[in-house]
Structure 1
Amino acid sequence: MSSVSPIQIPSRLPLLLTHEGVLLPGSTMRTSVDSARNLQLVRSRLLQGTSLQSTILGVIPNTPDPASDAQDLPPLHRIGTAALAVQVVGSNWPKPHYTLLITGLCRFQIVQVLKEKPYPVAEVEQLDRLEEFPNTCKTREELGELSEQFYKYAVQLVEMLDMSVPAVAKLRRLLDSLPREALPDILTSIIRTSNKEKLQILDAVSLEERFKMTIPLLVRQIEGLKLLQKTRKHKQDDDKRVRGLSEVYLELLTFLLFRMGRVNIRKLCLMWARVKLTVLRALGDPEAMGDEVKG
């Protein structure tokens, strides 16, 4: 695979404080913004410019933003994810709030908070740059073994789906195109994992540690799918397969094309959101019936 220029983030980032989800590099997440500092951040940095892509945010997980900016900031989670906001949707009912569609770029750690109002800004240090494996022979060998093991489980998971479906076959080929070092974050974001587990993966700065932590999660997902295939009725199993495939395939496609620089990231993520919503509606998902993706 051809080399890709590493992502370089600014040394200072405005911080978006979240507590409902964990954004991993290479994944996409919706988050609601209704607290004082977060609202100021959206209005000042995302809605004033001509392009959403002009602002990289520092998304801090496991950290609720106080309802009032008169309150002090809570202790901030040390590790965050640099992200782009690819969509902003606002509403005044039942109270002013925004819904953001954000996509993760890379990890960072907070060096120091430079200011707290009207929204927090911090000096940060970039922790991973989505580069190739290290050059030392021992490290390369250890990581190579772990990445190969993880890759085999990822392939096993995909091949448990119906390989006669064209999209499944494309997904299988896509796994061969993705950089191995990106697989732990990508797969963790799309298989069934808790926020606590995602937070542990985010905090795993070492690539070796991430592989070791995510392999059991992948194995657990495989075993769960095996059990589902044995116990669920045929139609239910087909619905589950289509739903899981839509999220896995489109998430990986978004990340790969973004890495290759072939598609505008905002347009691609909006496309991903629309297709995903269409699939969920086709499956009769009640939560998707009233949703709408605008951009």
Structure 2
Amino acid sequence: MSSVSPIQIPSRLPLLLTHEGVLLPGSTMRTSVDSARNLQLVRSRLLKGTSLQSTILGVIPNTPDPASDAQDLPPLHRIGTAALAVQVVGSNWPKPHYTLLITGVCRFQIVQVLKEKPYPIAEVEQLDRLEEFPNTCKMREELGELSEQFYKYAVQLVEMLDMSVPAVAKLRRLLDSLPREALPDILTSIIRTSNKEKLQITLIDSISINFRCCELEERFKMTIPLLVRQIEGLKLLQKTRKPKQDDDKRVNIYFNPFQV
């Protein structure tokens, strides 16, 4: 298994408030931007920024941005996902809006909101530091067993898909090249899961690095049943369809282009 290069996000992040979809580290998502603060964020940071750092946003899930910047911010989720803005597409019809293609990098915790206008900026603490897991947690026995169990289910699921599809073949290779700690987020982002389930996985967090092993155990425990459910669903689908039909093997998969 190859090691992951250390990821370091800025200590201050502009916050993009999203009410549809949940972005997980390693996954890619399209989101629409048409509210006051989110529009200001895109115009000020993404369209005028000239550095890679200017494309890093803090994505706060399940939190609608007020329609007007005169309104107060709603209560913010404490845990969000830092993301790279990969693409920005704008349109003026039927009203000014942008569509962002964003890729999750890692989780963060809001320490404090520094300002709310023209768009929110927060001081944040990075939570996911994958390179620290082996040295910090020592991969306790239970965690090692959960990791291996998850990996076996992940391989079983991927091998039920159409391996002739390049994205599926790439995912199979990633299972062996990525650290096991990254797999729950990657697999959860591509299998059939509800926003509520993704949100629960996103909000698993720890206050200090001493608890990260427990955090990872919980993430494995929550995502293994999701994998099993998807596997059983595919098995049932295969039984009810004719052999020549292989739609059950096809799945929409989005990869983090910065991860490989």
Tell me whether the two structures share a fold, i.e. TM-score over 0.5. Answer: yes
Post-superposition Cα deviations, 1:185-220, rounded to whole Å, max 9, x if no partner, equal: 000000000000000015588911100100000000
Shift in alpha-carbon separation, 1:86–1:187, aligned structure 2, 3 A: same
- Given the superposition, is the C-alpha separation of residues 184 and 205 from structure 1 closer, same or farther in structure 2, using an over 3 Å criterion? farther
SS in 2 for 1:22: coil
C-alpha separation in 1, matches of 2:137 and 2:35: 49
Q: Which moved more, 1:201-210 or 1:121-130?
A: 201-210
The farther-off stretch of 125-134 and 136-145 is 136-145
Shift of 1:52: 5.7
How has the CA–CA distance of structure 1 residues 72 and 235 changed in structure 2, closer, same or farther, with 3 Å as cutoff? farther
- TM-fit CA distance, 1:77: 0.8
Residues 1:68 and 1:103: Cα distance change in structure 2 (over 3 Å): same
**Structure 1 range deviating more: 168-177 or 139-148:** 168-177
Q: Supply the distance in 1 between the matched residues of 2:74 and 2:117 (Cα, whole angstroms).
A: 13
- The one-character-per-residue Cα deviations of 1:207-264 (angstroms, maximum 9, x if unpaired) are 1110010000000000000011011244543365xxxxxxxxxxxxxxxxxxxxx999
SS in 2 for 1:25: coil
Taking the aligned partners of 2:207 and 2:151, their CA distance within structure 1 comes to: 20
Call closer, same or farther: CA 1:94–1:234 in 2, change over 3 Å.
farther
Look up the SS of the partner of 2:140 in the other structure. helix
Question: Any conservation in 2 of the 1:46–1:52 contact (CA below 8 Å)?
Answer: no
- The change in CA–CA distance for 1:105 and 1:205 in structure 2 (over 3 A counts) is farther
The alpha carbon displacement at 1:134 in A equals 3.7
Whole-angstrom CA distance in 2 between matches of 1:181 and 1:90? 36
Deviations 1:120-153 (A, max 9, x none): 0001111112225344677432221111000000
State the match for 1:42 in structure 2. Answer: 42
CA separation of 1:168/1:93 partners in 2, compared to 1, >3 Å: closer, same or farther? closer
Task: Give the CA deviation at 1:24.
Answer: 0.3
Provide the C-alpha distance between the structure 2 equivalents of 1:264 and 1:152, rounded to a whole number of angstroms: 21
TM-score for both structures, normalised by structure 2: 0.85
Structure-2 residue corresponding to 1:170: 170
SS of the residue corresponding to residue 94 of structure 2 reads: coil
Q: CA RMSD in A?
A: 3.7
| Range 105-114 or range 170-179, more displaced | 170-179
Distance apart, 1:6 and its partner CA: 1.2
Structure 1, unaligned runs of 5 or more: 241-261, 266-295
Check whether the contact 2:161–2:248 (CA below 8 A) recurs between aligned residues.
no
**2-11 or 189-198, which deviates more:** 2-11
Q: By how many angstroms is 1:32 displaced? A: 0.1
* Cα separation, partners in 2 of 1:30 and 1:235, compared to 1, 3 Å: farther
Match of 2:256 in 1: none
- Which stretch shows the higher mean deviation, 164-173 or 205-214? 164-173
Q: Is the 8 A contact 1:134 1:140 kept in 2?
A: no
The 8 Å contact of residues 25 and 81 in structure 2, kept in 1 or not, is answered as: yes
Amino-acid identity (%): 97
- TM-score, normalized by length of structure 1? 0.75
Change (3 A) 1:12 1:36: same
Per-residue CA deviations over 1:259-290 (Å, capped at 9, x if unaligned) read: xxx9999xxxxxxxxxxxxxxxxxxxxxxxxx
Distance 1:81 1:167, change over 3 A: closer
Change (3 A) 1:18 1:152: same
Whether the 8 Å contact between 1:204 and 1:210 is mirrored in structure 2 is no
Structure 1 CA distance for aligned equivalents of residues 247 and 138 of structure 2: 44
Per mean C-alpha deviation after superposition, the further-off stretch among 166-175 and 14-23 is 166-175
Residues 1:54 and 1:230: Cα distance change in structure 2 (over 3 Å): same
SS at match of 2:135: coil
Structure 2 Cα separation of the partners of residues 138 and 46 of structure 1 = 40
C-alpha distance in 2 between matches for 1:50 and 1:164: 39
Asked if the contact 2:2/2:177 (under 8 Å) is kept, the reply is: no
Cα distance per residue 1:52-87 (max 9 Å; x no partner): 663310000010000000000000011000011010
Cα 1:84–1:151, aligned 2, differ >3 Å: closer, same or farther? Answer: same
Q: Residues 137, 238 of structure 1: CA spacing in aligned structure 2 closer, same or farther, 3 A cutoff?
A: closer
Tell me: CA distance 1:170–1:91, structure 2 relative to 1, closer, same or farther (3 Å): closer
Structure 1 residues 136, 77: closer, same or farther in 2, change over 3 A? closer
8 A contact 1:16–1:58 mirrored in 2:
yes
